[in-house]
Chain A
Amino acid sequence: MNESDRNIINPFGNDKDFAGCSIFGMMNLEGKRFGSKDPVRAISNMHERSNGLGGGFAVYGIYPQFKDYYAFHVMYLSRDAKDKTDRILASCFNIIYDEEMQTRPANVVDPPLVWRYFVQPKKNRPQNQSEDDCVINAVMRINTETGKAFVFSSGKDMGVFKGVGFPEDIADYFCLNDYQGYLWSCHGRFPTNTPGWWGGAHPFNILDWTVVHNGELSSYGINRRYLEMYGYKCTLQTDTEVLAYAVDLLMRRQQLPIELVSKILASPFWSEIDYLEPKKKQALQALRQTYGSLLMNGPFSIIVAHHGEMIGLTDRIKLRPMIAATKGDMLYLSSEEASIRLVSPMLDRLWTARGGEPLIGRVGDKKLIEKRAKLEVSH
């Protein structure tokens, strides 16, 4: 293969190597904010799990002075797209403040223009349309109508920062040491079946829901078609996008608790359901029948986050790793134990969950972790 062919097939110059993505989540259970030092150090310790084709962070509690407004982070692949996007935004929202996002030269590949807006949905919305629905509508319109603009963060008092590079480079690029948050969810990407581009980096986000994911979803097609019925349009060319919309649909719109949602995303085998007591059996059968199209097929470990809550989940036969730990008020979820130990060598508790069983941390509810950790294999 000559040089030019290789550049077409493999534009970032990375030869095929084998690894898995890395995910790391860190949350203060009292809601106290902390800086980027530990989360960035932890995710970059798993450097070998990613290959420089994607890195990202979701940080909660970062815009206290604008916490009543939706914070949009938008990437523009062309100037023209910004004009179109600005028109869509101006038609739906009062734009409180907007600016080009603070960045600095770093080891990242082809950064697009990134812009930040703080917006408030206009009062003259269609009847029955909530503020959240208004935001989702605008995000879907921008992502599909402009062609070159993508909203990668749209929640209140939180923000996603992501792009093509190793996670530590992305942190550097977006100047993350200037931010404070009480929950950091982090990702290092090793793309398998989908392109490594800025929109395809994790976390995936809608409103304040974010997902980081290690694995692949072979059910992407059926999940995507199901979500389209509810107005979610997948534009980011990456399987994980469906997970972000699925948790928004199930947990925010349909108000299902995570204990049930985990049984939808990582449903138990029929052979296991068959042996349950009649009431449980009926409930799980109903879930599988109703939400069969939201079953996430394939290996995965994910961290789902929204304000006040961080959830870890793996597929039902745990084909991707996840370990949890606590130290004082801090909860950690990670692909690898070493990353947790690096930032917190002496832990209070370290445990793993069964495949398909959620690990849940809630602000202000330390007892929940104590209670649930006892049910799992504690180390």
Chain B
Amino acid sequence: MVVQTQKVKAEISPRFLPRVTVEGSIYKIDAQDLHYKELNTLLRELDAMGVEKVELSNVYGQRYIGTDLKTKMKIDIYGTPGNDLAAFMDGQTIEVHGNTQDCIANTMNDGKIVIHGRAGDITGYGMRGGKMFIRDDAGYRVGIHMKEYMSNKPYMVVGGTAEDFLAEYMAGGVLLVLGLTLKKGEQHKSRFVGTGMHAGILYVRGEISHLGKEVKMMDVDKKDLAVIGDLVKEYCGYFNADYDKIMAGKFVKIVPYSSRPYGRIYAY
């Protein structure tokens, strides 16, 4: 085992060696004071070696973690990863044991993100595939310009509530907000919900008002509940939540009136 470990470690640039320890198949990296460019260089080296599991500790704001990797690596992050986490990510899995900052899953193509904490503003910006599960709340403009094309369809679940401009300019995919952090009788925080939305579906559990003028609220049907049920089941698996209790809540569906809300403005 030791011999094998040394052999694999020999492929890592020498300057990174003091930070890397190998336990079984898991590569552990101490990211303290490591610049994001260096950290991502190291991740790409591990990726090229075919490493399947990486654990990052002492992460303080390093950006673009999970970007530009080729294999199906699983990355566990301890700390607070920086902006643009999983930007353009294509098939990897990231589990964050802490909170995340702004603009995560920016134009993410495929893969999965699980966050044991909160997410910041513009979460899922332009996300066009893969899945994301956020245990607690998320900030402003969650799901802004999520999009889908044929079989590429992004799914995002926010366990708590979200702030203003939820699903702004949303153009595809499924966004589910569960409201689990709200007190009894408390409404969702978001105002201007679905402003500029022109495709995709936003499901909300609990009371929500103050919609943008481009969207309408509808009851959910059986087909919707099947989609919601699958997502909630997965959410409960990650965060040990009560499936039946969540599904007992009241869900609504928010969709756009038109697929071209501004068509009349620009094409008179």
Contacts of B120 in A (CB 8 A): 321, 323, 337
* Residue A350 interfacial (CB < 8 Å): yes
Contacts of B102 in A (CB 8 A): 321, 336
Chain A residues with CB under 8 Å of chain B are 45-46, 48, 317-318, 321, 323, 336-339, 341-342, 350, 352, 354-355, 377, 379
Nearest Cβ distance between residue B36 and chain A, in whole angstroms? 7
Q: Are A355 and B121 in contact (CB under 8 A)?
A: no
Q: Are B63 and A377 in contact (CB under 8 A)?
A: no
CA distance A48 to B61 in the complex (A): 10
Give the contacting residue for B164; candidates A46, A336, A355; CB below 8 A. Answer: A355
Nearest Cβ distance between residue B157 and chain A, in whole angstroms? 17
Contacts of A350 in B (CB 8 A): 99
Contacts of B99 in A (CB 8 A): 337, 350, 379
CA distance A337 to B85 in the complex (A): 14
Chain B interface: which size bin? Answer: 20 to 34
Q: Are A318 and B136 in contact (CB under 8 A)?
A: no
Contacts of A48 in B (CB 8 A): 36, 63, 82
29 cross-chain CB contacts under 8 A: A45-B60, A45-B61, A46-B61, A48-B63, A48-B82, A318-B163, A318-B164, A321-B120, A321-B121, A336-B61, A336-B82, A337-B80, A337-B99, A338-B60, A338-B61, A338-B80, A338-B81, A338-B101, A339-B61, A341-B79, A341-B80, A342-B61, A350-B99, A352-B139, A354-B163, A354-B164, A354-B189, A377-B161, A379-B118
Give the contacting residue for B101; candidates A318, A336, A342, A379; CB below 8 A. Answer: A336
Nearest Cβ distance between residue A249 and chain B, in whole angstroms? 29
Contacts of A354 in B (CB 8 A): 163-164, 189
Give the contacting residue for B60; candidates A318, A323, A341; CB below 8 A. Answer: A341
Contacts of A45 in B (CB 8 A): 60-61
CA distance A145 to B137 in the complex (A): 53
Nearest Cβ distance between residue A317 and chain B, in whole angstroms? 7
Which of chain B's residues has its CB closest to A271's CB? B192
Nearest Cβ distance between residue A43 and chain B, in whole angstroms? 12
* Residue B93 interfacial (CB < 8 Å): no
Q: Are B137 and A342 in contact (CB under 8 A)?
A: no
Within 8 A of A (CB), among B141-175: 161, 163-165
CA distance A45 to B79 in the complex (A): 14
Q: Are A352 and B163 in contact (CB under 8 A)?
A: yes
Nearest Cβ distance between residue A299 and chain B, in whole angstroms? 12
* Residue B40 interfacial (CB < 8 Å): no
Q: Are B165 and A317 in contact (CB under 8 A)?
A: yes
Nearest Cβ distance between residue A75 and chain B, in whole angstroms? 32
Q: Are B117 and A379 in contact (CB under 8 A)?
A: yes
* Residue B83 interfacial (CB < 8 Å): yes
Chain B residues with CB under 8 Å of chain A are 36, 59-61, 63, 79-83, 99, 101-102, 117-118, 120-121, 136-137, 139-140, 161, 163-165, 189
Contacts of B36 in A (CB 8 A): 48
Contacts of B60 in A (CB 8 A): 45, 338-339, 341-342
Contacts of A336 in B (CB 8 A): 61, 82-83, 101-102
Q: Are A355 and B140 in contact (CB under 8 A)?
A: yes
Contacts of A46 in B (CB 8 A): 61
Contacts of B83 in A (CB 8 A): 336
Nearest Cβ distance between residue B144 and chain A, in whole angstroms? 12
Which of chain A's residues has its CB closest to B37's CB? A48
Nearest Cβ distance between residue B114 and chain A, in whole angstroms? 17
**A338-B60, A341-B60 known; A377 vs B164 contact (CB < 8 Å):** no
Nearest Cβ distance between residue A132 and chain B, in whole angstroms? 38
**A48-B63, A318-B164, A354-B164 known; A337 vs B140 contact (CB < 8 Å):** no
Nearest Cβ distance between residue A301 and chain B, in whole angstroms? 11
Which of chain A's residues has its CB closest to B117's CB? A379
Q: Are B101 and A337 in contact (CB under 8 A)?
A: yes
CA distance A338 to B99 in the complex (A): 9
**A321-B102, A336-B101 known; A377 vs B163 contact (CB < 8 Å):** yes
CA distance A341 to B60 in the complex (A): 7
Given A336-B82, A338-B82, A355-B140, 7 new contacts (CB under 8 A): A321-B101, A321-B120, A321-B121, A338-B61, A338-B79, A379-B117, A379-B136
Contacts of B136 in A (CB 8 A): 379
CA distance A318 to B117 in the complex (A): 21
Contacts of B161 in A (CB 8 A): 377
Which of chain B's residues has its CB closest to A319's CB? B140
Nearest Cβ distance between residue A131 and chain B, in whole angstroms? 43
Which of chain A's residues has its CB closest to B98's CB? A341
Nearest Cβ distance between residue B212 and chain A, in whole angstroms? 11
CA distance A350 to B99 in the complex (A): 10
CA distance A321 to B100 in the complex (A): 13
CA distance A143 to B173 in the complex (A): 55
Contacts of A355 in B (CB 8 A): 140, 164
CA distance A337 to B99 in the complex (A): 8
Contacts of A337 in B (CB 8 A): 61, 80, 99, 101, 120
CA distance A336 to B62 in the complex (A): 11
Contacts of B63 in A (CB 8 A): 48
Q: Are B61 and A317 in contact (CB under 8 A)?
A: no
CA distance A275 to B136 in the complex (A): 30
Q: Are A317 and B164 in contact (CB under 8 A)?
A: yes
